[in-house]
Amino acid sequence: MEPLALALGEERLVGSDRTISFNSVRYSTPPDYTGAKVWCRMVGEELSITARTNSGYLSAIWRHRGRTACAVRIRAKMARAVELAAVLGSDRVDQALGLAATAGRFADGDLLSILGHLADSKPAGEVVRADETHSTRNGTIGWQALSQ
């Protein structure tokens, strides 16, 4: 047993998919910890995952919002979707939820934004996920002129 293991939390083994299970919920871990022993404990509303680093020290390697905080946010968003369905119709909200799921857009205000887009009778068009190839950030080409 590791010294101070009880203070570190509950022991888990990182799976090949780089996740651990804590309180029946799967949480991701950073790369390079597959197969490693980690310890999990709640710190306030966050899950803290501690492991022995490559240098041999015990360190918190990752933090996640706890299940309780996430569940509260999900319930609030679903309640908002139900309210919107009562006002705008369930078919329209169902279509917007489908588009949100396809695009991976679940931030605050995203459902309302999609509903507004649909209300403006704009076609849904191609769904693009924000990633390294599709970003909303401005490029750095404008700075190039300053270096000349």
Q: Is residue 129 part of a domain?
A: no
Q: Is residue 138 part of a domain?
A: no
Q: Confirm if 40 and 47 have CB atoms less than 8 A apart.
A: yes
For residue 119, pLDDT over 60 is answered with yes
**CA–CA dist 8, 10 (Å, integer):** 7
Residues 14 and 61 in one domain: yes
Q: How far is CA 13 from CA 18, 66, 67, in A?
A: 10, 19, 20
Q: Which two tokens stand for residue 11?
A: 């022991």
Instruction: Indicate which CATH number applies to the domain containing 60.
Output: 2.40.50
Residues 6+ apart with CB under 8 A from 48: 9, 40, 41, 42, 60, 62, 63
Q: pLDDT of 35-60, one tens digit each?
A: 999 999 888 878 899 998 888 888 88
Q: pLDDT of 59-118, one tens digit each?
A: 889 888 766 556 667 778 888 899 999 999 999 999 999 988 888 888 888 898 889 888
Residues 12 and 61 in one domain: yes
Strand ranges inside 44-146, DSSP E: 46-52, 58-65
Q: Confirm if 119 and 94 have CB atoms less than 8 A apart.
A: no
Q: Is residue 1 part of a domain?
A: no
Structural domain containing residue 40: 7-65
